[in-house]
Amino acid sequence: MRTIEPNLQLRDALAGDPVLGRVDLAALQTQYEQVSQRFHSHFRHGRLAQHENAMFHRIRYLDLLSRPWQGRVLDLGNDKPFLAWFLRRLHPQASFDVVSYEIPESPVQLFEVDIEREPLPFEENSFDQVIFTEVIEHLWRDPSYCINQMNRVLRPKGSLYLTTPNACDRHSLVCVLWQANPNQRSGYYATLESGHLHLFTVAQIRCLLQAHGFDIVHEGTEDLYGHTRPDENIEAMIRQISPHRALMNETIVVEASKGSSCGNPSYPLEIFPDGCPVQFKGAIVEFSRSRSSA
């Protein structure tokens, strides 16, 4: 773990921008593209890529920014300065701590933590809310360790807001029919965590959270990306066959509260067939040895 201080020049430029200083939620909803362009114009590198990413996540970001954040909030796994900045800008009544990998030119302080192995650098029962959105699908070794740590740092009855791509959405069904991979980020990336390594179902997320002391307050699915196009033939087939029509939107959305503390991570067999996280053995050992001796 290490602490990464904010880029003060970038922070001051954003804070001093008269246009960004007038942006509230209503303005962001009606002028999102212009606000994103203005925001990312202050970055020295990757302006276009950052802006395009913000546009891709537009529906999800606006939904997230419109939620009532308050108290001390842990923003876990957020690697997007745009989102981190506007969470603070639009919710001054809350304080945010961001845990992420290093983000070039971050205007906010970061805690760089390997969340599948390293403990979160915070006291137990110290947060009111946790934001954990579009992260768990990137974890490849031990998501239970991360969930356990979230439980540790949340106060009793503190809330967790989690989203992740839905393995069973309509878009995946259409992909199957058109011979496209339902996991759109299934490629071989230079880093494992760049892909979507495990797509979850609603039942699996529920199982994982309940195994770590969380009570489910709300679970469902929403279209937070706009990939899915209405098709009456698909809808007719779903109505005829599926008992879970309400759980077939693009994104799993779960709100949970800390019902009880839990000691060690738990590995339910529905998700971990061997009852444990990924082990350092098999082909990965030989790969590691060959790389270290090269």
Domain edges within the chain: 2-293
**Amino acid letter, 269:** L
Residue 214: what pLDDT? Answer: 98
Q: Distance between CA atoms of 113 and 168, rounded to whole angstroms?
A: 31
Tens of pLDDT, residue by residue over 68-110, are 999 999 999 999 999 999 999 999 999 999 999 877 789 999 9
Residue 116: what pLDDT? Answer: 97
- Is residue 99 classed as helix, strand or coil in its secondary structure? strand
Residue 16, Cβ neighbours under 10 Å: how many? 10
Residue 162: what pLDDT? Answer: 98
Please say whether the beta carbons of 97 and 111 come within 8 A: yes
In the numeric block, the tokens 């906010």 are attached to 108
Residue 230: what pLDDT? Answer: 86
Q: Distance between CA atoms of 152 and 273, rounded to whole angstroms?
A: 25
Q: Distance between CA atoms of 270 and 140, rounded to whole angstroms?
A: 16
3-state helix, strand, coil split of the chain in percent (to 5) is 40, 20, 45
Query: Has domain 2-293 been given CATH number 3.40.50.150?
Result: yes
Average pLDDT per 10 consecutive residues for the chain, totaling 294 residues:
94 97 96 98 93 97 97 96 97 97 87 96 98 97 98 98 97 92 93 94 98 98 92 94 95 98 95 96 90 74
* Prediction pTM value: 0.95
**Starting at the edge strand that comes first in sequence, how are the strands of the sheet with 71-76 ordered?**
2-4, 110-112, 94-99, 71-76, 127-133, 154-165, 251-258, 214-222
